[in-house]
């Protein structure tokens, strides 16, 4: 199952074998925090965390992203990115907690809903995962990745027709997404 990194610093995503990762770029300032947060320090530390994650230094990434959250507790991208690193360490409770914080700050972030759904599925909370996938698809009905993940749950529950529908939708939205073909 793929992991949608939700490290969204810019609109340009890089596809990699295991996740979708945004290019490192300046984060959008939070206007509420603008006067009290050292934006340069936040951006520098956030980008450092992303680079460490990409290099496989999960502990370093988590440390940097934790510092971002200390500097700017409303930085929803840092919570989401730290959650991605925690998933790679199989800290599912930490993943769920971080994506929940990200959702509380920015409830329209479909990626956080999808990522939390994956963590919930990995932790055995299938009902919670289904709810998160449903919300992610309400927010972004073109999210092929979430259709694929929801299809996996349907297949696991022997809802083969529903699973095929979700995998087919994923393929329609992203014809080069091989995992959906494999799952279908």
pLDDT band at 18 (very low <50, low <70, confident <90, very high): very low
Task: Give the number of other CB atoms < 10 A from CB of residue 26.
Answer: 14
Which CATH superfamily, name and number, covers 3-140? Tetratricopeptide repeat domain (1.25.40.10)
| Average pLDDT estimate for 109-113 | 95
The gap from C-alpha 89 to its chain's centroid, in whole angstroms, comes to: 15
Q: Is the pTM of this model over 0.85?
A: no
pLDDT at 20: 36
Q: Which residues face 19 on adjacent strands?
A: 3
For the chain, what are the domain ranges?
Answer: 3-140, 141-184
3-state SS, one letter per residue, for the chain: CCEECCCCCCCCEEECCCEEEECCCCCCCCCCCCCCCCHHHHHHHHHHHHHHHHCCCHHHHHHHHHHHHHHCCCCHHHHHHHHHHHHHCCCHHHHHHHHHHHHHHCCCCHHHHHHHHHHHHHCCCHHHHHHHHHHHHHHCCCCHHHHHHHHHHHHHCCCHHHHHHHHHHHHHHCCCCHHHHHHC
CB 108 within 8 A of CB 143: no
Whole-number percent of the chain with pLDDT over 70? 80
Q: What is the pLDDT of residues 22-81, one digit of tens each?
A: 334 444 555 444 556 688 889 999 999 999 999 999 999 999 999 999 999 999 999 999
Window from 16-30, 79-93, 119-133 with minimum mean pLDDT? 16-30
Q: What is the pLDDT of residues 156-170, one digit of tens each?
A: 999 999 999 999 999
């Amino acid at each position: 199952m793929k992991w949608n990194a939700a490290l969204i610093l810019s609109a340009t995503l890089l596809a990699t074998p295991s996740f979708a990762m945004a290019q490192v770029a300046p984060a959008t300032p939070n206007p509420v925090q603008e006067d009290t947060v050292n934006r340069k320090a936040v951006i520098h530390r956030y980008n450092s965390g992303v680079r460490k994650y990409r290099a496989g230094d999960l502990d370093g990434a988590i440390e940097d992203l934790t510092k971002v959250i200390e500097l700017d507790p409303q930085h929803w991208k840092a919570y989401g990115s730290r959650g991605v690193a925690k998933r790679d360490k199989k800290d599912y409770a930490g993943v769920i907690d971080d994506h929940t914080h990200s959702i509380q700050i920015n409830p329209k972030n479909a990626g956080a809903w999808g990522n939390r759904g994956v963590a919930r599925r990995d932790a055995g909370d299938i009902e919670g995962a289904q709810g998160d996938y449903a919300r992610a698809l309400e927010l972004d009905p073109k999210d092929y990745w979430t259709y694929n993940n929801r299809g996996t749950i349907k297949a696991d529950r022997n809802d083969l027709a529903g699973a095929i529908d979700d995998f087919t939708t994923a393929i329609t939205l992203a014809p080069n997404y091989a995992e959906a073909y494999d799952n279908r």
